[in-house]
Amino acid sequence: MQHDLGYFEEGQLDKAYDLRLLKRMLPFLAPHRLWLALSVGIVVTLTLMDLALPYLTKTAIDRYIVPTSATPANEKPGPNRVLRVSAADPDVRAVVADHPDRFRIEDGIAQIAWRDLPHLPPDAIRTLRQKDLDGLLWITAAFVVLIALDFGFNFVQRLVMEYTGHRIMHDLRLKLFDRILELSLTFFTRNPLGRLVTRVTNDVQNMHELFTSVLSMLFKDLFLLAGIGAVLLVMDWRLALASFAVLPLVVIASLWFSRRVREVFRRQRVKIAEINTQFAETIGGIKILQAFRREDGNQKRFRRLNHENYQAGMDHIHILAVFMPLVEVLAVVTVAIIIWYGGWRITTADMTLGVLVAFISYLRMFFRPIRDLSEKYNILQNALASAERIFLIMDSPERLARPAARALPDQADVGRIESIAFRRVGFSYVPGEPVLADVSFDVRAGQTVALVGATGSGKTTLTMLLLRFYLPEQGRILINGRDMNDVPPAALRARMALVTQEPFLFAGSVRANIFPDPDQYSESKIQSVLAAANCRAIVDRLPHGLDTPIGEGGGALSSGERQLFSIARAFAREAEVIILDEATSYIDSNTETRIQEALNRLTANRTAIVVAHRLSTVRQADRIIVMDRGRIREAGTHHQLLQEQGFYYRLHRCQA
């Protein structure tokens, strides 16, 4: 039996595919749209507050520090500016009286040239500019209020997005886990454990960063860029156009960055998956590695994967090391252009100082979201690389077979299994390489049917088809005369129990492995199951009895003990059909006797399908089916087949 073990996740991403991935995420966002809308509303408010701060600076300079109202009517700001104050104020009159040569009184307004102010004492200047000082105090108070509000809104926004992101990640991980449980065995033979672990852990975590960082901050950065551009054009469109001169270079740099970083992220995701796969295989096969002294070779392979992951990370750093300083250089160049052009216009009295200062502040803010967008693009590409792999699992066609559309709701329960019939069944794992061909036989309730034959003859495949792990490619399997395709897998498996050659025990207690829902079993029932499965002596030896914890796979137990616990699990299931797949292989003679006794009790008065290599274990079967290269070679009882002196007879002679 062969399988294609190549990575399913490879495939070139393009921007159209990016958009499709983003669109596919919408169903996960929909249940949380109110929280997302609240976050976007807070982001818009934060953006408006950020835009207000430089404008307050401009207002402070042009209205209170170097007020443009000091300019004579119909004149540009320049050397002829004057300061006008009301002469009705007693303090102002006192200053005018002390320096009459500096002031001119017209219509109750005292005027003094701006260039003469430095010649007055500080107290006099403070008196004349008291309203400006009061205005600066209000501007300062507005700054403090905006900063406090900014802190509060940022706190709430972060809280809302983290809550929403964790809820989305929670839903996504559950959806992915549920989908993995629905996949067929074919999928798991094609994809290593480490890769699937990476999907449920690392890739979902990368999606969390997308939900918490990119979604809200993307809105903020875009709103901030648009807002800054609009404010600059309104304040001074000529200076705004001069400052936008470097934008084409920023766009070119961003496109270069995006193109280079995409492939790097995909390489990193693949290497992380390969590292996890290698690590999982190393832990799972540590005994074989040590027994065959393969530690050095395994370490070299891991070192190579780790170095390739390191190189991908360094490529990412190199790209950032070029892009981020380039953005900083372009920001400095833009500020230099503004200082030169704006300073020239101020010297020619064509613009106020406050506009220039505000422009510099806005431009520094303008390049901040560009840097943020590049970082968010990193997160976005990382998340899209993860989303690609998550949706590849969700879209995998290798799912458990479902009932055909013709099945009716009231036919979900198959009822007590009275008969099983294989009708000309054919199957192959790999197209063109049939494992079964034209297999037909019947099993009646209470019968024990044995499947024997050489390795690779298709015995285990027949049991996999009966359990609906796979569907026949040709022919049909009938349960009580009904096509098995019309029966839900869960309803079918609820009436069956499987005891395999290498039973799997889950991490937890012995009780949890044998009795998954202990509340359904009385103490007397538990003891009877243990006695029937010959497990009572084993349980009594354990330090905490049934509550003794065992590790994953039951590695601390012997093969025979694991097998007996597996039989006890089948007893507790009270299944109608028992499937035994090489259940006594690799067991010593003493343990085999105990296991065989337990199996005899298990199959008594039940339908049993037994896969066996050792013919001595199936002599008492009601019917023995001999498989050879995917076909039924002969069938009958043990004595009938020996009398025919055919294929079974030769197998029996070889083993004897």
Mean pLDDT of all residues in 236-247: 86
Give, in degrees to the nearest 5, the angle at Cα 19 between 14 and 21: 90
Cβ 353 vs Cβ 69: under 8 Å: no
Q: How confident is the model at residue 587 (pLDDT cuts 50, 70, 90)?
A: low
Over residues 295-325, the pLDDT tens digits come to 888 889 889 989 988 998 898 888 878 888 8
**Separation of alpha carbons 135 and 197, rounded Å:** 62
CA distance 414 to 417: 7
Give the Cα separation of 149 and 154 in Å (integer): 8
What pLDDT does residue 124 have?
86
Q: Are residues 148 and 40 in the same domain?
A: yes
Pairing of strands 109-113, 82-86: antiparallel
Residues 502 and 617 in one domain: yes
Rounded to whole angstroms, how far apart are CA atoms 516 and 519? 9
Mean pLDDT value across residues 31-36: 86
CATH assignment at residue 296: 1.20.1560.10
Angstrom distance (rounded) from CA 198 to CA 440: 43
**217 in any annotated domain:** yes
On whether the CB atoms of residues 566 and 554 are closer than 8 A, the answer is: no
Please give the average per-residue pLDDT across 367-371, as a whole number: 78
Question: What is the token pair recorded at 611?
Answer: 């896969």
Yes or no: say if 264 and 309 are a contact pair by the CB < 8 Å rule.
no
Is 93 domain-assigned?
no
β partners of residue 420? 443, 479
Same domain, 253 and 206: yes
Give residue 71's pLDDT: 47
343 and 439 housed in the same domain: no
Instruction: Report whether pLDDT(6) > 60.
Output: no
Is residue 333 a part of any domain in this protein? Answer: yes
DSSP secondary structure string for all residues of 301-366 = HHHHHHHHHHHHHHHHHHHHHHHHHHHHHHHHHHHHHHHHHHHHHHHTTSS-HHHHHHHHHHHHHH
In a domain, 570, yes or no: yes
Residue 120 domain-assigned? Answer: no
pLDDT for the residue 345: 85
Whether residue 366 is found in the same domain as residue 507: no
Which CATH number goes with the domain that contains 434? 3.40.50.300
Q: Are residues 464 and 525 in the same domain?
A: no
Q: What residues have CB less than 8 Å from 79, skipping those under 6 apart?
A: 115
Residue 250: count of CB within 10 angstroms of its CB: 18
> Which residue among 394, 424, 451 closes a domain?
394
Return phi, psi of residue 13, to 5°.
-85, 140
Give the residue numbers spanning the domain of 628.
413-493+622-656
- 19 shares its domain with 46: yes
* pLDDT, average across residues 184-190: 75
Average pLDDT of the residues of the chain: 81
Please provide residue 107's backbone torsions phi and psi, each rounded to the nearest 5 degrees.
55, 40
Q: Can you give the length of the chain in residues?
A: 656
The three-state secondary structure class of 408 is coil
Kindly calculate the radius of gyration of the chain based on its CA atoms and give it in whole angstroms. Answer: 40
Q: Look at residue 216 and tell me whether its pLDDT is greater than 90.
A: no
| Cβ(630)–Cβ(457) below 8 Å | yes
Provide the 3-class DSSP secondary structure of residue 434: strand
CA dist., res. 448 & res. 612, Å (int): 12
Whether 596 and 620 have beta carbons less than 8 Å apart is answered as no
Determine contact, residues 341/356, Cβ cutoff 8 Å.
Answer: no
Residues 339, 457, single domain; the answer is no
Closest listed residue to residue 611, CA positions, set 498, 509, 444: 498
Strand partners of residue 110? 85, 105
CB neighbour list of residue 277: distance below 8 Å, 6 or more residues apart? 192, 193, 194, 195, 198
Q: How far apart are CA 278 and CA 192, in angstroms?
A: 9
Q: How confident is the model at residue 144 (pLDDT cuts 50, 70, 90)?
A: very high
Partner residues linked to 496 by β-bridges: 577
**Residue 3: per-residue pLDDT:** 39
| pLDDT band (50, 70, 90) for residue 202 | confident
Per-residue pLDDT tens for 597-607? 888 888 888 89
Is residue 641 a part of any domain in this protein?
A: yes
Same domain, 573 and 627: no
Specify whether 517 is located in the same domain as 634.
no
Tens digits of per-residue pLDDT, 417-440?
899 999 999 998 888 888 999 999
- Residue 41 within any structural domain of the chain: yes
CA 78-81-87 angle, 5° bins: 175
> What pLDDT does residue 552 have?
67
φ and ψ of 202, to 5 deg = -60, -45
Spatial CA neighbour of 545 closest among 567, 527, 519, 564: 527
Where does the pLDDT of residue 5 fall: very low under 50, low under 70, confident under 90, or very high at 90 and above? very low
8 A C-beta contact, residue 530 and residue 523: no
* CA dist list (Å): 150 to 139, 147, 225, 360: 16, 5, 18, 21
- What is residue 191's predicted lDDT score, i.e. its pLDDT? 74
**Is 446 a member of any domain?**
yes
Task: Write down the pLDDT at residue 69.
Answer: 52
Domain stops at, among 346, 366, 394:
394
- Same-domain check for residues 367 and 430: no
User: What CA–CA distance (Å, rounded) separates 244 from 229?
Assistant: 9
Per-residue pLDDT tens over the stretch 475-496: 999 999 888 888 888 888 888 8
Question: In sequence order, what are the beta bridge partners of 453?
Answer: 627
Give the C-alpha separation, 130 to 124, whole Å: 10
Which of residues 365, 394, 423 is at a domain's end? Answer: 394
Residue found by looking up tokens 């950020």 in the block = 50
Tokens 């997308």 locate to: 210
Paired tokens of 282 = 């190393």
Place of tokens 């609240």: 38
| Banded pLDDT at 407 (limits 50, 70, 90) | very low
Eight-state DSSP code of residue 32: G
pLDDT band at 405 (very low <50, low <70, confident <90, very high): very low
Q: Rounded CA gap, 41 and 37, in Å?
A: 6
538 in the same domain as 456: no
User: Per the structure, how many domains does the chain have?
Assistant: 3
For CA atoms 215, 217, 220, 223, give the dihedral sign: negative
